[in-house]
């Protein structure tokens, strides 16, 4: 298993994996999120490969102080073998290399299956409420 930064050439496989993992929403085109992350120096998308097969992804970015993790996805056939943990570790390493001091992520309340995973990695409820506003 090896992890590398993804490129636009990987887009088809990445988007397919995000759909398989249930991370996409109709109002938020994943292709656009992927390209945005690839087009700036303050973010990247890492991919885990077994040979040429894309098995997992994680999007990571920062604002200079806080890092954010998105689109952690592991292929259904590869879950439970530590791949999610590996990708999170690499994302955290990428943020440390950027001198980021804090990392955050959001989990949909309906995605209860992953809360234990993040608890195990040391992520805790930050006792804040995230608010959002659509700008389009």
- From the CB of residue 58, how many other CB atoms can be counted at a distance below 10 Å? 27
Complete domains list, the chain, with CATH? 2-105 (3.40.630.30)
- Verdict on whether the full-model pTM lies above 0.85: yes
Q: Is 125 exposed, middle or buried (0-12, 13-18, 19+ CB in 10 A)?
A: exposed
pLDDT tens digits, residue range 55-102? 999 999 999 889 999 999 999 999 999 999 999 999 999 999 999 999
CA distance 49 to 51: 6
């Amino acid at each position: 298993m090896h992890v590398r930064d993804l490129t636009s050439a990987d887009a088809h496989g990445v988007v397919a994996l995000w759909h398989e993992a249930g991370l996409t929403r109709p109002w938020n085109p994943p292709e656009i999120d992927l390209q945005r992350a690839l087009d700036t120096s303050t973010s990247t998308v890492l991919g885990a490969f077994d040979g040429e097969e894309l098995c997992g992804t994680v999007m990571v970015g920062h604002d200079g102080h806080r890092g954010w993790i998105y689109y952690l996805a592991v292929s259904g056939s590869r879950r439970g073998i530590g791949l999610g943990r590996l990708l999170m570790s690499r994302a955290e390493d990428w943020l440390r290399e950027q001198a980021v001091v804090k990392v955050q992520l959001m989990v949909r309340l309906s995605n209860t299956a992953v809360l234990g995973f993040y608890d195990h990695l040391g992520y805790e409820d930050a006792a804040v409420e995230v608010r959002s506003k659509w700008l389009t």
